[in-house]
Every structure is written in C-alpha cells, then in structure tokens.
Amino acid sequence: MRRTIAIIGAGLGGLTLARILHLHGIEATVYEAETSPAARKQGGLLDIHEHNGQRALKAAGLYDAFRRLVRPGEDAKRIVDRDGTILFDRSGQTLSPRPEVDRGELRRMLVASLPPAAIRWGHKVTSVSPVANSRHEIVFANGARTTADLLVGADGAWSKVRPLLTPARPVYSGTCFIEIACPVADAHRVVIGTGTLMAVAPGKGIIVHRNADGSVAGYVALNRPETWVNSIDFSNGRAGLNAIARQFTGWAPHLTRFMTDSIADPAIRLIHALPPGLRWQHRPGVTLIGDAAHLMSPFAGEGANLALYDGAELGQSLLARPDDMNAAVAAYEAALFPRSHEMARLSAQNLDLFFGPDAPGSVVDLFNHCA
C-alpha cells in the first residue's frame, strides 16, 4: 500500500527531504504557507559546510548545481572594534571548504529540482491532529485538509507540528536583530572588505556583507530585554532606525553610517532558541527536521546546514527501510538528538562570545581558533 508523506514547510530541510524521496520514486507533498517562491526575501549569505550541508546536497544529486551558485572569496572575514580599528582580516578563498551562497538562490535550486505539483503553495497550517492508525490530519487556512501516514514538521521556529511531540517552545535569547540594507557605495565597500564585516562590542554589533551587485545587507544586533524591544516604534521607519543608531553613540561614523544610510524597511527580529539537548519520545507517524527540531542562534553557522542534513538523513533512512516507516523515523531521531545537541550548545556559546563582556577580543580569538 502506498504511504502518504506530508512535509510542512518549503524551507531548505523540507525541500531536501522531498528531493531525495522524489529521486527514488517516493512521492511526498510539501505544504507551504507562502503563496510562491518569491513571496518574501529569503535572507543573505550561507556558508555550506563539508560535513553536513554539502553531504546533503550530494545525496540529493544537486552538488554540481550548488557549486554553480558559489560566490568565490565571499568567505572573507573582517573584525573591527567600535572605533573601526581592524583586529582581524582574513581574505576569502577561491576553493573554500565552507563556500558562500545566497540563501534565496539555494532555495530556488531546490524548488526547481521538484515537480511543480510536489509543492502546494498558499497552504498555511491551522491545525494538526492525530487520527486512527498513527495518521495525522492537517487543516489549512484556505479550507483544504489532508491526512498523512507520515507528517514531517519542517515549519521552523514556531512549528505547528512540534506540540505533537514536545511542549518545548523557543525562548528569547536576549539578543535582537534589526535588518539593514544600503545601496551601492564605494565608502561601504572599503569598510567591509571583500566578505563579511563584524563590528562588535559588549552587548551590540553591526554585521554586514556585500551583495553581488555591490549593495550591502546585514543587521544590527543588540542585547536588550523584550520590554525594550517592544517599546521601539517602527511605524515611522527612519525614526525607528534613528532610535537604534542612538544605541551606538560614540562609534566610528563610517560604522554607524550602515544604519543611517539603510533603505530597508526596519523591523526587529528577536533571536529565539530551543533548549540545547531537546529530545522527545518517539511517536509513530510524526517527526521534525530543521529549526522545528533544534532552533538555535545563527552564531555557529549550522542552522541551514543542519536543516539540509536532517532532510537528507531522514530521506535516506526512509529509503533504507521501505517496509517500516516507523523504524526509519526512530533511527533518524536517534542520530538527530546528539548531533543537534552539540551544535545548539556551540551556537549558544558563540552568541555569548560575540556580544559578551570580552567582545571584540573574544570574537577575534574565536576566528583565530577556526582559521
């Protein structure tokens, strides 16, 4: 009997899982709340790691296509203090083991690797609930509903599927991001260098990179309580950005200009994380991948890589056990928990290094250790 597989979320992990199953003749349907692949901006650069992200893309038969998206030399890193003094400056590599790609391009590549009917756009989940024989019913905001033998939550931080397995919810880390974007300007290019600029100090930072067209994208980071975050009014975008810029009084003007020159629609994004070491008791017919399973801060660079790897590992486990879907999911989860625990621990540790009392020296030490 043919088994139905429903993947909630067309992010990197869900698409990788669907691609691997499709390659081997197993049907799976991805349900995505967004109305199209172009419904929103997909974020900036990702460094894709050899030991997990690249392995996943090889398993999906997409490694060569991925290499065509790589932006050589974009892995360059520059660290400065609040005065703009350069403390660390590493040039990019043409053949980096952690090559940089644009997240949006990577996602478009994965979307294009699937038959159009495999992704149902405009399907926002409103509820999921168990029914008979370990199946689950999914109800969507557009009135559609379906049932699946295997329900995979690839739906990110605020997963609708996660509560079926654990009551754990993401917790605010104490750090918030404000996105910034600047048009092409020679002055910004000189300050950034050829890759990513990190200007950090205790409790705050400005992290930016150059886009392919020479424009600048990135974010301002602040350690602030949630009550302070909620007090900032972004209804007048420039006034909101000016309020953020005032948090950097005394910083070098060529650094604060990234805020005052920004043309992005400003919005604050609180950085949340699930508890490191989160586990759940295996339950037939449902599992999680990516941020739904192990949401963490971006300061280990592992979130997207783990999502890709989760999708590949779950897909390969299902292929290896075609007659026992339950055993396949249990084997996937047994390997997931220890690897995600270590990466979540490292991510939390690095977040403290970036904006803790010893910054920027602690960040320089971190990159010297990784060099």
Q: What is the pLDDT of residue 71?
A: 84
Mean pLDDT along residues 158-164: 98
- What is the side-by-side strand order in the sheet with 171-182? 86-90, 77-80, 196-201, 204-210, 216-223, 171-182, 268-273
Contact 55, 312 (CB under 8 A): yes
Domains of the chain as residue ranges with CATH? 5-72+96-170+274-355 (3.50.50.60), 172-272 (3.30.9.30)
CA 1 to chain centroid, in Å, comes to: 36
At 71, list the tokens: 């932006």
pLDDT exceeds cutoff 60 at 1 = no
pLDDT exceeds cutoff 80 at 46 = yes
- Compute the mean pLDDT over every residue in the chain, rounded to the nearest whole number: 92
Report CA-CA distances (Å) from 267 to 176, 228, 241, 277, 336. Answer: 10, 14, 9, 30, 33
The dihedral of CA 296, 173, 223, 245: what is its sign?
positive
Helix %, strand %, coil % of the chain (to 5): 40, 25, 40
Beta-bridge partners for 218: 180, 208
Biggest alpha carbon distance in the chain?
68
Task: Give the C-alpha separation, 244 to 241, whole Å.
Answer: 5
Helix residue ranges, H only, the chain: 12-23, 55-59, 63-67, 103-112, 186-192, 226-231, 237-245, 253-260, 291-294, 303-320, 325-355, 361-370
Which 8-state DSSP code applies to residue 44? S
Q: What is the pLDDT of residues 332-343, one digit of tens each?
A: 999 999 999 989
H or E, element range at 88: strand 86-90
Q: What is the pLDDT of residues 226-265, one digit of tens each?
A: 998 888 877 766 777 888 889 999 999 999 999 988 888 8
The residue whose two tokens read 């037939």 is: 284
Mean pLDDT along residues 356-369: 93
User: In b/e form, how buried is each residue of 328-348, taking b as 16+ CB within 10 angstroms?
Assistant: bbbbbbeebeebbbebbebbb
Task: Give the C-alpha separation, 200 to 207, whole Å.
Answer: 8
Report CA-CA distances (Å) from 63 to 49, 97, 152, 163. Answer: 12, 13, 24, 34
Q: What is the pLDDT of residue 130?
A: 97
Mean pLDDT along residues 118-141: 97
Mean pLDDT along residues 112-140: 97
Mean pLDDT along residues 156-163: 97
Mean pLDDT along residues 72-95: 88
Report CA-CA distances (Å) from 21 to 5, 17, 86, 163, 193. Answer: 10, 6, 48, 25, 41
CA 335 to chain centroid, in Å, comes to: 21
57-61, 97-101, 183-187, 242-246: segment of lowest average pLDDT: 183-187
